[in-house]
Amino acid sequence: MCEPGYRRGVTRRPGLLGVHDVDLPDWRRLLGALHARYEVGSFAARAAFVAEVAELCDPGDAPARVELDARRVGLMLRDDEAGGVTAREVRLADGISALARAHQLAAVPAQVLELALDTPSRDAVLPFWTAVLDGREADGAVVDPAGALPPLWFQETGSSEPGRQWFHLDVTVPPEVADRRIAAAVAAGGRVVDDSRAPAFVVLADPDGNRVCVCTELGRD
């Protein structure tokens, strides 16, 4: 589980930064992008904060992707043309952190959810899932251009044993969050199935045996 083929054996392009190249107080590099979430009081305050973030962006910058919920502003920075995080995104993230400090906003850990489907032939099923999710193919996965749906990637497997769990969730969190998230899941009745690839990922199961992976960016370079 949790070894997406489109991430394996990828040579880092010139100018791209790895997980150990980024050290920002509010931001974490998750799945090739910088993520931050801030607690912001009212909807008006959230909208005003996003407007000020927009003013920090140069016309040539890749736009920050923004998500608003009932309490928070979530931000994601990534250079899609370069295929990851560059020095430009780090500079913008640093500026957004300074803006958040000026507003006395508290940062909370970000996380990213992915869906994974075990299949003996990714190429056979990928067009179907691209169509039914109205998505686009990116590096062998299906992504939602609007960012409303989690990515769907395909783990190639030849197994056809009865009762196999074909779908599972991958929850990618900052490294400092992973251990307590795993401990909380075990305390809630789960169990560790496989931690041989930690800290890249740890496979957990709920009391019924349904599996989920808690992942970090560490150990994937």
Structure token digits, residue 69 = 């919920």
Q: In the predicted model, what is the mean pLDDT of residues 174-200?
A: 94
What's the gap between Cα 219 and its chain centre? 15
Question: Does the structure show a pLDDT above 60 at 1?
Answer: no
Q: For 116-164, how does the pLDDT look when each residue is reduced to its tens digit (9 = 90+)?
A: 998 888 888 899 999 989 999 988 899 998 888 899 999 888 766 666 7
| pLDDT confidence of residue 3 | 54
Q: In the predicted model, what is the mean pLDDT of residues 100-109?
A: 94
Within 10 A of 119 (CB to CB), how many other CB atoms are there? 17
Domain boundaries, the chain: 5-108, 112-215
Report the candidate in 111, 109, 105, 107 with the shortest Cα–Cα distance to residue 41.
105
Q: What CA–CA distances, in Å, run from 124 to 65, 127, 128, 218?
A: 31, 7, 8, 31
Q: In the predicted model, what is the mean pLDDT of residues 86-107?
A: 94
Among 3.10.180.10, 3.30.2320.50, 3.40.50.1820, 3.40.50.1220, name the CATH number for the domain at 112-215: 3.10.180.10
Q: Predicted confidence band at 60 (pLDDT cuts at 50, 70, 90)?
A: low
Report the candidate in 74, 77, 114 with the shortest Cα–Cα distance to residue 93.
77
Structure token digits, residue 209 = 């045996």
Cα separation, 158 vs 96, in Å, equals 46
Q: In the predicted model, what is the mean pLDDT of residues 201-208?
A: 91
> 165-192 as b/e, with b when 16 or more CB fall inside 10 Å?
eeebebbbbbeebbeebbeebeeeebee
Structure token digits, residue 104 = 């006395």
Cα separation, 207 vs 204, in Å, equals 10
pTM to 2 decimal places = 0.81
In the DSSP assignment, the letter for residue 145 is: T
Q: For 5-57, how does the pLDDT look when each residue is reduced to its tens digit (9 = 90+)?
A: 334 334 456 678 877 788 898 999 998 899 999 999 899 999 999 999 999 98
5-108 maps to which CATH number? Answer: 3.30.1360.20
Q: In the predicted model, what is the mean pLDDT of residues 102-125?
A: 91
Instruction: To the nearest 10°, report the CA torsion of 86, 89, 93, 94.
Output: 60
Cα separation, 149 vs 152, in Å, equals 9
Q: Are 193 and 211 in contact (CB under 8 A)?
A: yes
| pLDDT confidence of residue 21 | 82
Q: Which amino acid makes up residue 193?
A: V
Percent residues over pLDDT 90 in the chain: 60
